Structure 1
Amino acid sequence: MNVFKRISIASVCACLFISCATEDKNPVVINKPIVKKITEPFRYHKAIEVKPGLTLDIVSWGRGSNSVGGYLVLRSDSTHLNYRSLTGELDGRIVDAWDMDLDSDGNPELYIQSKGEGEGSYLSMYIYEYNESGSNQQIRFPELGSTLRKGYKGSDSVYVKDGKLMREFPLYSTGDSASKATGEIRKLEYSLRSNSLNVKEVQKIQD
């Protein structure tokens, strides 16, 4: 093989290498998931499928303030073509909503959890029990008594565990103006009987 042939082969190989390297450097386009934005005055939306054909849509709205507003619950029973709604005033902003049958009576309850703005982020709960026809009854979320409220400054955590409604919050010292965290956490359990919520302290644990 003469020199010219060697140079030609080397040139072709170099061109192929550069071409492959160039192609490898081309950016890979990844399609990002489309996030649906809620337009004003709406702030929150969650759809809960209670069972096939029965869906609850929870919506919050408001203008001019993030600390107050309103909420709307739309009940769509497409199986029986029964559509109902309810509305109420909202304190704070909705952070979660879920359904469960806490008293195991066959009529599910809807729980809407909201928290206030600023330090403490105090808890508010809006609870409704629905029957088969679509009628609802509001269940009052009980306030903390003097004993359970001692050392309370908000920052609640609400969750469901083993079919039970649980609530935890950190405790603060009450004997001085600084009101520092003690490192303890109060844990409460809620039970539902005859459309009335009852609360008891399960334990007070060290954080």
Structure 2
Amino acid sequence: MIIKYNLQRFLLLIGILCCFACTEEKIKEVRMETENIEKNPFPFYKNIEVKPGFYFEVLSWGKGVDSIGGYQILMSDSANNNFKSTAVERKGIITDAWNMDLDNDGNPELYIQLLSKKNVSDLNVFEYSGGRFNKINFPSLSVNQKKSYSGNDKFFQKNGDLFRSFPVKDSLKIVNKTYQYKLSGNSFYTNDVK
């Protein structure tokens, strides 16, 4: 009887240990999945420092199709204890974001670059002014510019100016066409760079 009783206790103890062993492994798996999510929860994230204590954070989100979703702009002005945000729907994949003050009015502008098609880039521009994010419409290409346009454009900054460059077919050879963008009164205008 004592042997049977000891055998039952031993088997019960083994069963309990097996339960704890199985549960512990599942907890490790869940922790690992959570750690992977916490490392990169957003497809795009960039922290942009305008000046010490004044930051913009741009982050995108969306499940399923990469090119459809939204993005958030978070403003942190810790010196003035001021925090704002805006959410925007997006059609395209965010590839870059940066800060400029192209019109030199003292209000920072955020430029969010999107890949809207396989090889076509576009910009969303927001000026932070008066405690609000104001959208500035970035001009689409003119009819004349579209004639030779085939994508693969690149936006870049040089000496505080904004440029857009893309390859065009000129007679028998391919050359890069470059345009400079100026901002005045929250309206863009374009110059052809020779």
Instruction: Give the TM-score taking structure 1 as reference length.
Output: 0.71
Unaligned runs of 5+ in 1: 1-35, 175-180
- The structure with the largest alpha-carbon Rg is 1
What is the deviation of 1:173? 7.4
1:116-154: CA deviations, max 9, x gaps? 343xx11121111112x4322111000111111111011
Instruction: Report the counterpart of residue 197 of structure 1 in structure 2.
Output: 188
Instruction: Report the counterpart of residue 124 of structure 2 in structure 1.
Output: 126
User: Whole-Å Cα distance in 2 between the matches of residues 154 and 140 of structure 1?
Assistant: 20
* Contact 1:128-1:137 within 8 A present in 2 as well: yes
Alignment of 1:91 with 2:91, yes or no, is yes
- Select the residue among 37, 55, 60 that pairs with 2:39: 37
Q: Give the match's secondary structure for 1:152.
A: coil
User: Whole-Å Cα distance in 2 between the matches of residues 199 and 149 of structure 1?
Assistant: 14
* Contact 1:153-1:172 within 8 A present in 2 as well: no
User: Whole-Å Cα distance in 2 between the matches of residues 148 and 48 of structure 1?
Assistant: 32
User: Whole-Å Cα distance in 2 between the matches of residues 116 and 149 of structure 1?
Assistant: 16
What is the deviation of 1:37? 3.2
1:70-114: CA deviations, max 9, x gaps? 111001111111111111111211111110111111111111111
User: Whole-Å Cα distance in 1 between the matches of residues 99 and 151 of structure 2?
Assistant: 24
Alignment of 1:153 with 2:147, yes or no, is no
Alignment of 1:141 with 2:138, yes or no, is yes
Task: Name the structure with the higher helix share.
Answer: 2
Instruction: Report the counterpart of residue 80 of structure 2 in structure 1.
Output: 80
Amino acid at match of 1:135: R
Q: Give the match's secondary structure for 2:139.
A: coil
User: Whole-Å Cα distance in 2 between the matches of residues 163 and 50 of structure 1?
Assistant: 14
1:26-64: CA deviations, max 9, x gaps? xxxxxxxxxx8312xx21100011111111000001111
Amino acid at match of 2:147: K
Unaligned runs of 5+ in 2: 1-37
Q: Give the match's secondary structure for 2:43.
A: strand
Q: What does residue range 60-75 of structure 1 map to in structure 2 within 5 Å?
A: 60-75=60-75
Instruction: Report the counterpart of residue 112 of structure 1 in structure 2.
Output: 112
What percentage of residue pairs aligned between the two structures are identical?
41
Q: Give the match's secondary structure for 2:138.
A: coil
Instruction: Report the counterpart of residue 179 of structure 2 in structure 1.
Output: 188
